[in-house]
Structure 1
Amino acid sequence: MIITCDSSVNMGYIYLQQPRNCLEFIQTREDDLISSIGTRGYQIPLLRDEFVLDKLLKLKQSSKIYTHAHRDGEFHYEYQNDLDSEGYLTGIEISLHKECFLALLQQNSFRCYSFSWNHKQMRLFTFEDENVVFNSLNILYPLHWDHDSFLIVDIDPVSKIGRIRGLLTSNEDRYPTPYLLQPLFFIK
């Protein structure tokens, strides 16, 4: 997973699917790659947590797919979320201050949980502290009618901004585990 933070505009981007020009992207951003501050060799931990499914089931599950809920005004994007032609998320553009980004790394907020749900082997990738990800007010939106990938969305009740807190998926073609577990962090 590639995660960028541009401290000049306090914005970040999470590439959930490997960019097509990944090698070229890495080469152009090589100077921004975090290699100090203890992130060298950083891996997103793959955890087997028997209680993660209980936490997920406490979230409201929407019957609408993510793009339809957005279209119907249930929430607004914080900035821009990139989707492919079938509605699968390819990347998330988020508010991300340098200090917040470094704190997320130090707290191991980027995690992967593996478990079975509805006879499918699922993986949950988190992008925030566990208390924020599993807040009972968050909503689980399917990305596609196949119900093979979902987003955990935290919707601010005042601004209606929907912030993505996690990706739940069984779709290895779109979200390959090896790519998502070997992050590259870029900070400018």
Structure 2
Amino acid sequence: MLITCDNSVQMGYIYLMPNEAADECTLDKSDIGLYYDLNSLSIPRIKWLSMGQNLNQMPLATRTYREAVDKAFYCEYWNDLDNEGYMMGVELYLPEESFVTLVAHQAFKLYDIRWRNCDFRVLTLEAYHDVFNKRNVIYPLTKEKDAFVILGIDPVTKIAKVMALISARDDIYPIDYMRKPLFILANSSRYYNEVSSMT
């Protein structure tokens, strides 16, 4: 799964679906190697069928994400949807320090769960306790209700942050793709510090 962070603009993008950009990326092009052994990076897959009970404690919206955006909540940046409404990617404010911390604490995890009498995968994009906050809201991506996002919505600004993807569509969100970490860090402050110390 391709997750990028450009420290020069403190922006990130999470590619939830396979894409051409991911095909062209390799970890040896990333500054993340200045922080971690590239061979140690992983997106763990965990079987936790009863996690659905945690999801049941959050409100489940009746409107789809597309119907609710700019009405029930706003986006800090833009999250790309395909023609059917499935989320292709998440654009977010992501400074280097936050990105490195998310990688260090393995915030990106894939869970196999049972929810709404179906098998789902939950891909977390934040720390566990932030994802499964009872104040977060679950929005279906389509009327089929085979994929959802968990949103953390600021009560004052109404700006929403995507905390996790819930999916029963392994064809759209392939497990093999989501388990392959491509953490691409560009313009790292550590890189520039190392270069300046060499001159």
Shorter-chain TM-score: what band?
over 0.9
Q: Aligned with 1:47: secondary structure?
A: strand
Task: Output the CA distance in 2 between the equivalents of 1:39 and 1:167.
Answer: 27
Please tell me whether the aligned partners of residues 33 and 184 of structure 1 are also in contact (alpha carbons under 8 angstroms). Answer: no
More helix by share: 2
Alignment deviations for residues 128-154 of structure 1 (CA, whole Å, 9 cap, x no partner): 011110111100000011111000001
Q: Which runs of 4+ in 1 moved over 4 A?
A: none
* Corresponding residue for residue 116 of structure 1: 114
In the alignment, structure 1 segments of 5+ residues that lack a partner are none
* Greater C-alpha Rg: 2
Task: Output the CA distance in 2 between the equivalents of 1:22 and 1:102.
Answer: 19
1:143 aligned to which of 130, 136, 141 = 141
Deviation at 1:33, TM superposition (A): 5.5
Task: Output the CA distance in 2 between the equivalents of 1:14 and 1:39.
Answer: 21
Aligned residues: 185
Deviation at 1:21, TM superposition (A): 4.9
* Corresponding residue for residue 13 of structure 1: 13
Q: Aligned with 1:34: secondary structure?
A: helix
Deviation at 1:52, TM superposition (A): 1.4
* Corresponding residue for residue 157 of structure 1: 155
Please tell me whether the aligned partners of residues 17 and 90 of structure 1 are also in contact (alpha carbons under 8 angstroms). Answer: yes
Query: RMSD between aligned alpha carbons?
Result: 1.6
Q: Aligned with 1:12: secondary structure?
A: strand
Alignment deviations for residues 39-79 of structure 1 (CA, whole Å, 9 cap, x no partner): 523221111224411111101000111000115x1111110
Deviation at 1:84, TM superposition (A): 0.5
2:125 aligned to which of 121, 124, 127 = 127
Note the 1:40-55 alignment, pairs <5 A. Answer: 40-41=38-39, 42-55=41-54
TM-score of the superposed pair, with normalisation by structure 2: 0.87
Deviation at 1:120, TM superposition (A): 2.1
Q: Aligned with 2:67: secondary structure?
A: helix
TM-score of the superposed pair, with normalisation by structure 1: 0.92
Please tell me whether the aligned partners of residues 81 and 93 of structure 1 are also in contact (alpha carbons under 8 angstroms). Answer: yes
Task: Output the CA distance in 1 between the equivalents of 2:125 and 2:22.
Answer: 21
* Corresponding residue for residue 23 of structure 1: 23
Task: Say which is worse superposed, 40-49 or 4-13, in terms of deviation.
Answer: 40-49
